[in-house]
Structure 1
Amino acid sequence: MEVWSLILLCLSLYLPLAFLLHRKQRSGPPHLRLPPGPPAFPLVGNLLWLRRSVSDIEPILRSLRARYGPLLTLHIGSRRTIFVVDRALAHKLLVQSGAAFADRPLAQPINRLLGSREVDINGTPYGPRWRVLRRNLTAEILHPSRVRLYGQGRDKVLSILLGELRRRAGTEEPVVVVECFQYAMFCLLVFMCFGEILDEKAIREIEKAQRDFLLYVVKLNVFIFLPWIAQWVFRNRRKRFLELRQKQEDVLIPLIRARRGLRDEGRKNRGDNSFQYCYVDSLLDLEVPDNKSGRTKKLTDEEIISLCSEFLNAGTDTTSTALQWIMANLVKHQPVQAKLFDEISDVVGDAREVSEEDLGKLPYLKAVVLEGLRRHPPGHFVLPHAATEDATVDGYVIPSTATTLNFMVTEINWDAKVWEDPMEFRPERFLPGGEGADVDITGSRDMMMMPFGAGRRICPGIGLAMLHLEFFVANLVWAFEWKPVDGGEVDLTETLAFTVVMKNPLRACVVPRRS
């Protein structure tokens, strides 16, 4: 009762002042106004959250766009977010003025309360440290020449995935594939990250530590509203969060130390299941700018853990989610699957598997993958951006402080001015003569779709993701015929987890095409 009395007292003192400040802001000169939006109080946020959930953000934004335009402001608790829901405006901000909007918002109070720091690439502010970390990832791990080094790992994971699907296909029950896809993608990222082909027990242990940590983060949303009070009301959640972080460190540190030991020995004792190079190797000797001393320093084990965790998370859920959406549409649209199988058959002949060298000869395969990413992007919003300095856009100010800037991916991917029947799954639109034949998925030339973001903060793993999706989709269709469950339709209803996933995971009859 004492806590809630304190909350009510704070509200009664703050709300009148907040209302006056809000009115003063709205009555100011046009060039100093924020983009328009519904009435809000800086501490509580928009009053619409009293009757709507934050999970309804997409339909809310679509309805508000009709009233306020393609650039609008929402307040969610103490957070102020400016949303861009127009492709031309998104291209203007992310590409044409990329450096001006490449920063990240300041750490939320929840991050400061939990003791977490901005050490990964996604969370690091735009500047020298971010450039070093991103350059290391793109040049040392994601460069095509490096990616080719992990062909052995991809073949191993493909064998695991096809074997598990064959085992499940031998039962009378339909196959629920989401766990198979997630485990396969996670295996591959673990191999690339730690440089070892680990056994299932070790991979499951890493997977559990990662997933337990991520799942619990969702429970920390209560810190968004009145964070300094919530830290006392929900102090047990903070304690549990730190315990899960410690578990994550206990699992990952031995793998990091093993690679450090291998490096110190001159890589003389590298086994048959050990890769020549991995992400951890690139981080051990990396020097990054130190904001405190003004010099450079090597990364601590804690910082390496955060970067490894980011690498595993970023490449697992997004790719496995996209893979499930693509396969769901191939089950739902049997003629598309048949056309894809015929193309593969013409290229690979009697080969047992589709090789990476075959992928460039399969234009319809690429069209299927692109259509899956356009119609079902794993993230309906990009990661939050921020302005590096106060900026003016279309007569409105976007402040550099205390403001988050975000972009609505689906409004761009599904723009009816660009795509004919945008809600239909139609890979032919990416073939010669289709409206997407010359699409640039990086958004650099024209913002027709942006499943990987755009500009300075575009996903650095775009090439790796396309390779993995094409490689696994091709082999899944080549190895199995995917049929809908008798009497059932494929349900494409969406729901939000870490990514936007199928509310009812794909269930299919998987029939081996050959012994």
Structure 2
Amino acid sequence: MALIDFSFYSSIYSYNHLFLTVLSFLVSALIFLASMRKSKLKRVNLPPGPAGWPIVGNLFQFARSGKPFFKYVEDLRPIYGPIFTLKMGTRTMVILSDAKLVHEALIERGSIFSTRPRENPTRNIFSCNKFTVNAAVYGPVWRSLRRNLVQNMLSSSRIKEFQHVRDKAMDTLINRLKAEAKANDGVVWVLKNARFAVFCILLAMCFGIDMDDETNEKMDQVMKLVLITLDPRIDDYLPILSPFFSKQRKRALEVRKEQIDFMVPFFEKRRKMLQNPESDKTAISFSYLDTLFDLKVEGRKSGPSNEELVSLCSEFINGGTDTTATGIEWGVAQLITNPHVQAKLYDEIKQTVGDRAVAEKDIDRMPYLRAVVKELLRKHPPTYFSLTHAVSEPTTLAGYDIPTDVNVEIYLQAIGEDPKLWRNPEKFNPERFISGGEDADITGVKGVKMMPFGVGRRICPGLGMGTVHIQLMLARMVQEFEWSAYPPNSKIDLTEKLEFTVVMKNSLKAMVKPRA
């Protein structure tokens, strides 16, 4: 869960640019006169930004740029500074890319900047009208859901209770890699195998039921289908075009029904198991689902409905799967690109545990491993933007007005690679956290220098769990194998692209050689 944070704004570029341009022109032409009335309304002092067209705002310029959204933002930063405004259709976005401004907003004034903006109704279908930890507005529902997740599921003591689940998944991961390497002359797919391992861990933690590979695969298909359905559409930004997307809304309802129909039987199975623990000897003694059945939510008389349980369980599984798996892929890519880092990490593992398998208890005695993971999260946060924030009341930031209907977007890469905060930020250098005199409070409380999990009151509650997963997986994978590029002697392409998370443009195939 720790690596949950992402923003669908950063994937707008996947639309057909010509289609967007034509629509921008037509909509502007049709309702230009109506927009003139807005000039009579009270003006607010928003941060500066590029002038846009009536109604469509900057959608036209963005479409014409032909660039991913984060690149478009990157190009505007030298012109407009660390805080600027983009108007994307009916959405007004205030982009933050300065660590001090982020600290002021999310830490010093977190109670104001901790809510969520309005969303397209299609998205509310899957969040059950914002009944999830990430989507809920700042208030009693969010407090109840987050308190339950943190205290009853993601506390350090509770995470330790699932160590046997992680141990089993790690053994399965290593065996899968060995089998794949044997069948393919030493070549393995990194992301696919890492994703399978994390998904199995989260399924067991969520449902408390041992599932076979066929069921795991079906659950994965259902989860992926939901994510695909939530891909952004142009009517997210121009609701006037919603009538043209009735088929997509109908499809979203069909996917939601399929999701509910598939997942609810697992709820019933778990309820029966809790009533009669002897009925399933393979069941895990505790699960996230157990904490939700009778959850008391402020202002409500009953616990969550089955539909709300589906949303909460989906959030738990989806939030921690791809984010962690892509972190592992980037980690392996950097270890191949920087063989001296891989060698030093292996030496630390060998000195710490000898010939036995790395266990979670060993991680605290591996400062270099922790430094490698921290540098990995600095260089490769799972998304370009954190989850969108909004203010609960009109306020100001850096002397500019921030109205309640504005989307506050935080550009993570600009902070993690800010040369004012980091020496040689483009370089992958774990040593900066050990002997280089550099460090960062990853929670942002003492100051923001990197924020792969977000910061403040809406910081990802799964920070601890996600970090453990990445540390343990990388340690086991380096302990068992020496990793090198495929084809041999080739250079790893570190070009990025956005899917659900920021992944490698060319999914990583690597050569593995079992350690002697």
1:275 matched to 2:278? The reply is no
The structural deviation recorded for 1:403 is 1.3
Seen in structure 2, the aligned counterparts of structure 1 residues 356 and 62 have a Cα distance that, compared at 3 Å, is same
User: Residues 261-340 of structure 1 correspond to what in structure 2 (within 5 A)?
Assistant: 261-265=272-276, 267-271=277-281, 273-290=282-299, 295-340=300-345
Q: How far does the alpha carbon of each residue in 1:345-375 deviate from its partner, in whole angstroms, 9 at most, with x for none?
A: 0010121x10111110000000000010001
What does the per-residue CA deviation read over 1:42-97, in whole Å, with 9 as the maximum and x for residues that have no partner?
631214134125x6222322332222221111111221111111011001101011
> RCO greater where, 1 or 2, for CA within 8 Å and sep 6 or more?
2
Gaps of 5+ in 1: none
- Quick check: 232-241 or 337-346, which moved more? 232-241
Give the aligned partner of residue 190 of structure 2. 177
Secondary structure at 1:297's aligned position in 2?
coil
Question: Equivalent residue for 1:143?
Answer: 155
Question: By how many angstroms is 1:174 displaced?
Answer: 2.3
Q: CA, structure 1 residues 257+114, in 2 after alignment: closer, same or farther (shift >3 Å)?
A: closer
Letter in 2 for 1:176: W
Q: CA RMSD in A?
A: 2.2
Describe how 1:214-229 pairs up with structure 2 within 5 A.
214-218=227-231, 220-229=232-241
- Give the Å deviation of 1:173: 5.9
Find the partner of 2:412 among 405, 409, 412. Answer: 409
1:478 aligns to what? 479
Output one character per residue of 1:277-323: Cα deviation in whole Å (capped at 9) or x when no partner: 10000000102134xxxx43210000000000000111001100111
In the TM superposition, residue 331 of structure 1 has moved relative to its aligned partner by 1.0
Aligned to 1:502: 504
TM-aligned CA distance change 1:6 to 1:444, over 3 Å: closer
In the alignment, the residues of structure 1 paired with residue 26 and residue 70 of structure 2 have an alpha-carbon distance, to the nearest angstrom, of: 33
The alpha-carbon distance between structure 1 residues 139 and 112, as it changes in their structure 2 partners (threshold 3 A), is closer
Shift of 1:432: 3.6
The structural deviation recorded for 1:108 is 2.8
Q: Deviations over 1:437-463 (max 9, x none)?
A: xx2100110111111100000000000
Q: What is residue 347 of structure 1 aligned with on the other side?
A: 352
Local SS of the residue matching 1:276: coil
**What is residue 468 of structure 1 aligned with on the other side?**
469
TM-score (ref. length: structure 1): 0.91
Q: Matched residues in 2 for 1:7 and 1:176: separation?
A: 41
The answer as to whether partners of 1:382 and 1:408 remain within 8 angstroms in 2 is yes
2:374 alignment partner, one of 360, 370, 379: 370
Q: Which residue of structure 1 aligns with residue 38 of structure 2?
A: 21
Write out per-residue CA displacement over residues 181-210 of structure 1, whole angstroms, 9 at most, x where no aligned residue. 111111110010001221111111100111
Percent identical among aligned pairs is: 39
* 1:423 matched to 2:426: yes
Aligned to 2:452: 451
Structure 1 contact 110–223 (Cα < 8 Å) conserved: no
Deviations for 1:134-168, whole angstroms, at most 9, x for unmatched residues? 00000111011111111111011111110110011
What CA deviation, in whole Å up to 9, does each residue of 1:240-286 have, x standing for no partner? Answer: 22212111112211111111122233x34341x22111000000010
Give me the whole-angstrom Cα distance separating, in 2, the residues matched to 1:243 and 1:389.
37
- Cα–Cα, structure 1 residues 65 and 255, in superposed 2: closer, same or farther, change >3 Å? same
- Which segments of 5 or more consecutive residues in structure 2 lack a partner in the other structure? 1-21
Task: Check 1:426–1:23 CA distance in 2 against 1; reply closer, same or farther (3 A cut).
Answer: farther
Amino acid at match of 2:453: F
1:239 — aligned with what? 250
Out of 370, 395, 398, the position equivalent to 2:399 is 395
TM-score normalised over the length of structure 2: 0.91
Matching residue of 1:83: 95
Cα distance in 2 for partners of 1:360, 1:7 equals: 54
Q: Is the contact between residue 128 and residue 308 of structure 2 (CA under 8 Å) also seen in structure 1?
A: no
Amino acid corresponding to residue 349 of structure 2 in structure 1: I
Q: Which amino acid aligns with 1:269?
A: S
- Cα separation, 1, equivalents of 2:147 and 2:39: 42
**For 1:92, which of 84, 104, 121 is the aligned residue?**
104
